[in-house]
C-alpha cells in the first residue's frame, strides 16, 4: 500500500464502546485490519462502554481532550450537557442557543433537524485535534463525520453511513457540504447506497458499498460460552430482539403485540437485549404493566456477549421503523434463527426477499400476524433455519474495499 513500507497513519473517529451495532461492526472491521501496514489510532469521545476492553491491543486509543460529552447528547441530557460545556464558561452562549430551543419547541416535526444544527454550532467551538494522519475514518456516523471534516487533519477522509439517510428525514443543506468534503462515503447495503445516491446525486461518485464484516466462527465460539436465559423452568416460546429501546427501533409496538397475543391465547415471552433513555424504558415498563403483559416482557439490559441468548431463542424479531443494515439480523442469520423483520429499507436485501426470514409491514398488525404464523406452523421457522444453514455469510474480503479506497 505504501511505496516506502512506512505504516499508514489511520485515525478512526468514534464515540463510546457501547454494546451496540456500530461498535460491534467496528470490532469486526478492526479484527481484519493489517497492523503490519497500518498505525491505527481510535479517537473516542469517552473511553467507556461495555465493549471497551475488546478493542484490539494494536490500536492506540485516545480520548477527546475536551467536550467529549457533546457526542453523547440525548433528549434527556442535552440542556445540562450544553450548559456544563459552554454556558458555564461563557453565559453569552445562551443568546446563541436560545433560538434553537425555541424552534424545537415550536416545530416538533423538525426537532431532529434543529437539534443537529444546534449540535453543529456547538461543535464549531471544539478545538481541532492535534496531529496529522494519512487517512481518517468517521466510523460512528454523522456526528463523527462532522467532527472529522471540521477538526481533523488528514490527507484522505472517509465517512461511514450505517443508517438510511432518508429516514428520519435529514436536512440536505446541512449534510451535503460535509459529504462533499469526504473522499469516500461507505454505505453498508446496496439499498442504503441507492437511496443516498437518489437523494443526493451530487455525491454518487463518492459512494462505496461495503458490508459490515461478520465472523461466523467468532460468533459461534462466543455463543457456546457465557450467560443465557435464566428462567430455566419456562417452557414456552422465546422471542428475542437485540435493540436500543427507542422510537426508531419500534419499542412501542411490542406491548400492543403482546396484548393481542395474550388475548388470543398465545403465551410467549419477548426478551429485549439492550437499553435506551430512561424515559423510553419507563414508558415501556408502564405500558406492559398497564396492559397486563409485564410477565411476557423481559428486559435483559446489555451484555458483551448476546450470542448465548441468540442461540437459545426461538424467534428473532427486528421491529424497527427504519434501519441501515442491522448487524443483529446478520448475527441471527449466522445462528440459523427464524427471523421476523419489519420492512425497513434494507430488509428485503438482508433477508433475500423473504428467503432467509419473514418480512412484515411496519407496525403492530404486521408483527402480530407474522408471529402468529410462525407460532401456528413451526415448519415455517424450520424452513428458514434450513435455508440459513446452507448459506454462506462470512465476508472478511470486504476489508479489501477499504484498502482500495485509500490507495
* Per-domain boundaries in the chain: 8-213+397-405, 217-389
67-75: which pairs have CB atoms within 8 A and are 24 or more residues apart?
67/125, 67/126, 68/44, 69/45, 70/45, 70/119, 70/122, 70/123, 70/126, 71/15, 71/16, 71/45, 71/46, 71/143, 71/144, 71/147, 72/15, 72/16, 72/45, 72/46, 73/119, 74/277, 75/277, 75/279
- pLDDT at site 75: 62
Three-state DSSP class for 73? Answer: coil
Q: CATH code for 217-389?
A: 3.40.50.2000
> 8-213+397-405 and 217-389: same fold?
yes
pLDDT along the chain (407 residues), means of 10: 74 93 93 96 94 95 89 72 77 79 79 81 89 97 95 97 87 94 96 93 96 90 92 95 95 98 96 93 97 97 94 98 93 97 95 97 98 98 97 91 94
**In this structure, what are the phi and psi dihedrals at residue 404, rounded to the nearest 5 degrees?**
-65, -35
- pLDDT at site 274: 94
- pLDDT at site 339: 98
pTM of this structure: 0.87
Q: CATH code for 8-213+397-405?
A: 3.40.50.11930
- pLDDT at site 2: 47
- pLDDT at site 4: 56
Are the beta carbons of 46 and 17 closer than 8 angstroms?
A: no
Amino acid at each position: 500500500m505504501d511505496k516506502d513500507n512506512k505504516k499508514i497513519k489511520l485515525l478512526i473517529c468514534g464515540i463510546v464502546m457501547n454494546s451496540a451495532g456500530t461498535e460491534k461492526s467496528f470490532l469486526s472491521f478492526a479484527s481484519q485490519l493489517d497492523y503490519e501496514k497500518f498505525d491505527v489510532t481510535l479517537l473516542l469521545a469517552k473511553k467507556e462502554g461495555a465493549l471497551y476492553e475488546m478493542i484490539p491491543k494494536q490500536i492506540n486509543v485516545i480520548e477527546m481532550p475536551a467536550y467529549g460529552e457533546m457526542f453523547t447528547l440525548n433528549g434527556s441530557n442535552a440542556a445540562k450537557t450544553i450548559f456544563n460545556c459552554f454556558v458555564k464558561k461563557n453565559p453569552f452562549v445562551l443568546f446563541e442557543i436560545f433560538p434553537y430551543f425555541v424552534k424545537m419547541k415550536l416545530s416538533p416535526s423538525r426537532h431532529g433537524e434543529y437539534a443537529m444544527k444546534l449540535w453543529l454550532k456547538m461543535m464549531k467551538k471544539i478545538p481541532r485535534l492535534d496531529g496529522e494522519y494519512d487517512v481518517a475514518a468517521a466510523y460512528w456516523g454523522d456526528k463523527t463525520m462532522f467532527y472529522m471534516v471540521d477538526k481533523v487533519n488528514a490527507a484522505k477522509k472517509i465517512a461511514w453511513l450505517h443508517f438510511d439517510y432518508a429516514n428520519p428525514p435529514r436536512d440536505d443543506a446541512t449534510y451535503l457540504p460535509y459529504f462533499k468534503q469526504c473522499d469516500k462515503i461507505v454505505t453498508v447495503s446496496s439499498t442504503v447506497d441507492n437511496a443516498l445516491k437518489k437523494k443526493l446525486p451530487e455525491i454518487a461518485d463518492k459512494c462505496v458499498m461495503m458490508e459490515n464484516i461478520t465472523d461466523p466462527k467468532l460468533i459461534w465460539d462466543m455463543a457456546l460460552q457465557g450467560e443465557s436465559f435464566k428462567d430455566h423452568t419456562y417452557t414456552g416460546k422465546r422471542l428475542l430482539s437485540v435493540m436500543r429501546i427507542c422510537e426508531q427501533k419500534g419499542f412501542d409496538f411490542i406491548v400492543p403485540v403482546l396484548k393481542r397475543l395474550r388475548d388470543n391465547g398465545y403465551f410467549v415471552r419477548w426478551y429485549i437485549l439492550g437499553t435506551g433513555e430512561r424515559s423510553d424504558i419507563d414508558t415501556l415498563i408502564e405500558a406492559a404493566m398497564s396492559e397486563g403483559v409485564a410477565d411476557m416482557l423481559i428486559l435483559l439490559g446489555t451484555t458483551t456477549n448476546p450470542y448465548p441468548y441468540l442461540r437459545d431463542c426461538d424467534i428473532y424479531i427486528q421491529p424497527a421503523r427504519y434501519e441501515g443494515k442491522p448487524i443483529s439480523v446478520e448475527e441471527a442469520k449466522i445462528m440459523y434463527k427464524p427471523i421476523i423483520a419489519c420492512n425497513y429499507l434494507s430488509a428485503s436485501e438482508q433477508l433475500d426477499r423473504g428467503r432467509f426470514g419473514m418480512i412484515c409491514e411496519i407496525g403492530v398488525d404486521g408483527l402480530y400476524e407474522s408471529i402468529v404464523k410462525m407460532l401456528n406452523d413451526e415448519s415455517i421457522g424450520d424452513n428458514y433455519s434450513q435455508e440459513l444453514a446452507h448459506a454462506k455469510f462470512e465476508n472478511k474480503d470486504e476489508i479489501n474495499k477499504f484498502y482500495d479506497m485509500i490507495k
